[in-house]
Every structure is written in C-alpha cells, then in structure tokens.
Amino acid sequence: MPQPDVLLLNPADNVCVAVRNLAAGTPITAGGLANSLAEPIRQAHKIAIREIAVGQPVVKYGQTIGFAAQKIAPGQWVHTHNLTPGEFARDYAKSTAVPADLTPITDRTFRGYPRADGRAGTRNYIAVISSVNCSATVCKYIARRFDAAALREFTNVDGVVAFTYGGGCGIPERDEYHQILTRTLGGMAKHPNISAYVLIGLGCETMTIGHLIEDQKLIQIAPITPSPLHPLTRSSSHPFTSSPVHGHRPPVLVMQDLGGTAKTVEAGVKLVAQLLPQVNELKREILPASQIILGTNCGGSDGNSGITANPALGVASDLIVACGGTTILGETTEIYGAEQLLTRRAKTPAIADKLIERIKWWEWYSGVFGATCDNNPSPGNKEGGLTTIYEKSLGAIAKAGSTAMTEVYRYSEQVTAKGFVVMDTPGLDPVSVTGIVAGGANMMVFTTGRGSCFGCKPTPSIKIATNTPMYERMVDDMDLNAGDILEGRSVTEVGHEIFEEILEVASGKKTKSELLGLGDEEFVPWPLGPTL
C-alpha cells in the first residue's frame, strides 16, 4: 500500500508533517481536509491544514507548539517565519495519570560483567582519570601507550581510556559546580563498565584527589603494589585519611610530587600494566536484563525525530522497564514545554515537584545570561523542520516511553531507582551524556535526524537515524534506521528491534561508534558557574 505524502499526528492538530519533499501544488489530505501546497515543502516540515489566525495556537502532537505570528492559510508552510514560541500556562496535574505497571518480562538476559556492588558492566575498561585540566595531557599520554598492539594479549580488556576535561581549578570550593565535578569524576571511577582506574592530579588544584576519594568513597577492587614512583598517599597539603569503606586505596599520581610530566607518565604506565592482567581475568556471565541502565539522548534532531526514532526508542524503553531495568531521560532544556505530560505520570506528587523545580531553575539560570530556553532549537534543528522548543520537547520526551516517572536526579547523581527516571542535564549532547553515563548508565541509545557522530566511552552508544536518506548517507555511523517507519514499518516493530540491539550490544557486539574509535573526546562535565 503506498504511503501518504503527509502525516497527521493527532486529530486535534492543525498542522501535518511532510513525509517526503513535496512540490508546490501537490494535493494533500489530512484530517479529512483536502488542500494543495502553496509552496514547496521539505521532508519533516509542517503544513497548515486549516486557517490559523494571528495569535492562535499551532497544535502538533495534540499540544501547543507556539502561536501564529501572522495569518496562516491552509497548505502553507509553517515554520520560523510565521510561528513564534510565545508563552502559555501549563497544567502540571501532578500524578493524575500514573500509568499501570507493565506486564513483567522475566526471561530476557545479556552477557555482562557482574560487579561487587550488584551492578552489571557491559564493557571492561581501565580508566585514567584526570582531576584537573593540568594533568589531562599526562592521562592521554598514558592511555595512548596501550593501543591495540599493546592490548593484543588482553582479549577481555576493551581498552584503556583517559577521562580528561577543561576545568578542575579556578572554582569556588564546595559550590554546585565543585559538587558536580566530584560526582561526575567519582561516577566514572565507580562506573560498572570500569574495572580499574588510576587518578592523576597536578597537586595544587581546587578539585583535589583527596576530596574526591573521601566524598565519593572510592576504592580500587584490584590491589596495587606501592612503590616510590607511585605514592598511594598525598602530602599534608591535601591529606588522605583512612578510607571510609573496605577495599584497596585507589592508585594516585601527583605530578608535582613525582617530578613532572615524563616521570608521571612512566609511573602511570607501570600502574596500568599492573592492572591489565587482573582486569583481563574477568569474564562475561549471563545476567538478567533487569540490570540494564539505559541512557537515552537525541542530538541533531529533525522534524522526524518525534515521529520515528524517539517513539520507537520509547517502545524499547518500556521493554527495559518491563524487564525490571531503568531508562534515563535527560536534557531538561529539551523537556521544557512538555514537562506537564511527565508530571502527570509521576509516581508521587513529590517526584513531580522535583521536575517542576528543575524547570523553574532553568528559567532562572537561562535568564541570568540573558538567554531563554527557546534559544534551543539549534539552526540545524530548524533546518530539519523543528521550529520551537515546545515542538522539539514534545518529540524528545517520546524516548521515555509510556511508564510512570519514578524519580528525578540531579546531574551525574548515581541512579538507583528502577523504571523511568529523569536526570537534569543540559541539551548539549556531550555534556548531557557525560552526566547520564556518570550516573551509571551501562548502555546508551542516541537518536539523530541530522546525523550526529557520537561515542561515549566507557558506555557503548547505539545511534539511530530518524530518516532513510541520512541513514544511507551516513551508514558508517548509524547502527539502525528508524526512517523505515515513514515507509510503512510500525513504531512497535522498530522499537523491538532497538530492544534486541540493546541486549546484543550489552553482550559485546560493537557499535558503529566503537568500531570508529569514537568516545575519547566526549567526556565533558557540565561547566556550571563562574571561572575565578
């Protein structure tokens, strides 16, 4: 059966969406109304199906996405030239539409690494973690010494990865940014896909390793033999007290104590060489799918995102939740304008209040810098058919599926709740995913319409295209194509395909981004607050 030229997403909508590029004069039928196009319309862009007066709401997904800036006639293109975001009151109706629990799925498994804290790894990495930008190059030099040739005998080790970033000093101690950094670095050290790690600092930074270890209660599972070249204690300026938990003290290198760059690199190489045989002894075991913590993100979105890839990922998210696992929705600035749909699904009003508080905080925070939340969408989003943040958000939250919202987390907090949860992250992809991964996500699914090329070590990232032309153009980067939905395949069928891919990748199948070696440069903790 031939597919229609346009889609009407909800009976209440006064716009439809072009399935393909359409010429001026093309006849269309949507919502029982026949029109012809007043101008050429590109794929994923919006078309008015009835007259919309100035100031009247433009409705898509059954929800307001903005207001007509001028009279819009049937068959006209609806975009930035005639649609403005405006403001409208949202009825949060907290916990008034909490979905019933899904039928449990108890027989799905994957092959992963069981961890001592009860979590599960989908990869087996060694990390070299910088406490400050000043030690970033040292960390990278150490990791580069362990290339594919050096790891040839260690077949159970996925790699040695350096986590470096452009901060760690010039910040107020114990302020919110300092807390975010501490949580993020600690979350990477404790990540279920990291089997062992080395911490490296300069020695005079604000983000001290001593504070990091004590605050995050860091231990090292694999024992390390101390030597004068790699002290396991720090000088009195940043003392380490006895560990508050049982385990081995993490290996720490401080450049100012060791005598500089070259000596620290050699000490770090020796430490990692000690860790390799112990990490290589770990083997995959059959584990229940309930141990999947799925992070979701969308980047380079287009007008197809909320029609194809995101709702299909929502189906997969529901399947993970039915298995007893967790799915994380981030990008609070891309929830903005659609949060009222999530507050209705909150398990309790207190959980809804956490999300509302974060939305209000973002309104304040954006205003501090003279911005508004509608500075998002990006130019690329708009080129792809998205006009306002409300429209983008309504499509973005589809990644969360249909289940109850069970918790709301701050950036990079450890995620312990089961079910669908929200984490407060910015919309910028590397920053958002860094927080979600640091929070414990052992799998990521990343949807894209424009073609984002993205990886996020240590967590494998499955990339899903929203449309077939982009998938075919960028097939080396895309793992799955949800554009088939525009050609007649069901959202449910593609969602089940995504779910199966999640389990396969969790069991060791390499994603396209892993095969390309992406993921070393995408560790970007949220740079909140002033630089002093």
User: Cβ of 461: how many Cβ atoms within 10 Å?
Assistant: 27
Contacts for 468 with CB less than 8 Å, ≥ 6 apart: 481, 483, 484, 486, 487
CATH number at 6-84: 2.30.130.110
Q: Decide whether 6-84 matches 118-280 in CATH topology.
A: no
Dist. CA 418–CA 81, nearest whole Å: 43
pTM: 0.94
Q: Where are the domains of the chain?
A: 6-84, 118-280, 300-375+388-407+418-446+469-507
Phi and psi at 117, nearest 5°, equal -90, 5
Per-residue b or e along 415-434, where b marks 16 or more CB atoms closer than 10 Å to that residue's CB = beebbbbbbbbbbbbbbbbb
Contacts for 202 with CB less than 8 Å, ≥ 6 apart: 131, 132, 134, 135, 254, 255, 256
Dihedral of CA atoms 440, 389, 94, 316 in degrees, nearest 10, equals -50
The 8-class DSSP code of residue 266 comes to: H
Give the amino acid at 258. L
| Pairing mode of beta strands 33-36, 27-30 | antiparallel
Contacts for 235 with CB less than 8 Å, ≥ 6 apart: 203, 254, 257
**118-280 has CATH 3.40.30 classification:** no
Dist. CA 222–CA 217, nearest whole Å: 16
Please report, in tens digits, the pLDDT of each residue of the chain (532 residues total).
567 999 999 999 999 999 999 999 999 999 999 999 999 999 999 999 999 999 999 999 999 999 999 999 999 999 999 999 998 889 999 999 999 999 999 999 999 999 999 999 999 999 999 999 999 999 999 999 999 999 999 999 999 999 999 999 999 988 899 999 999 999 999 999 999 999 999 999 999 999 999 999 998 655 555 444 444 444 333 333 323 333 567 899 999 999 999 999 999 999 999 999 999 999 999 999 999 999 999 999 999 999 999 999 999 999 999 999 999 999 999 999 999 999 999 999 999 999 999 999 999 999 998 888 877 788 999 999 999 999 999 999 999 999 999 999 999 999 999 999 999 999 999 999 999 999 999 999 999 999 999 999 999 999 999 999 999 999 999 999 999 999 999 999 999 999 999 999 999 999 999 999 999 999 999 998 888 8
